[in-house]
Amino acid sequence: MKSNRASKKRFRVTGSGKIKREKAYRSHILTKKSAKRKRHLRKATLVSVQETRTVKRLIQA
């Protein structure tokens, strides 16, 4: 089964098996967003437990 190449570029698996992702809303129209909001968008976060199974299926080789 082929892996989804777009997903492979967007998600990483941590050592404990959780899925890590970058946050959205950081690419453009940054002038109206506060510094605090932009700062918090810099950090990566984990995919929700409900979505983990779906994402793992997409990124498997």
Kindly list the structural domains of the chain, giving each domain's residue range(s) and its CATH number in brackets, ordered by start.
5-59 (4.10.410.60)
pLDDT in tens, 2-57: 999 999 999 999 999 999 999 999 999 999 999 999 999 999 999 999 999 999 99
- SS3 of residue 19 by DSSP: strand
pLDDT at 1: 80
pLDDT bin (cut points 50, 70, 90) of residue 61 is low
Q: What integer pLDDT is reported at residue 8 of this predicted model?
A: 95
Quick one: pLDDT at residue 49?
95
**Quick one: 19 exposed, middle or buried, by C-beta within 10 A (0-12, 13-18, 19+)?**
buried
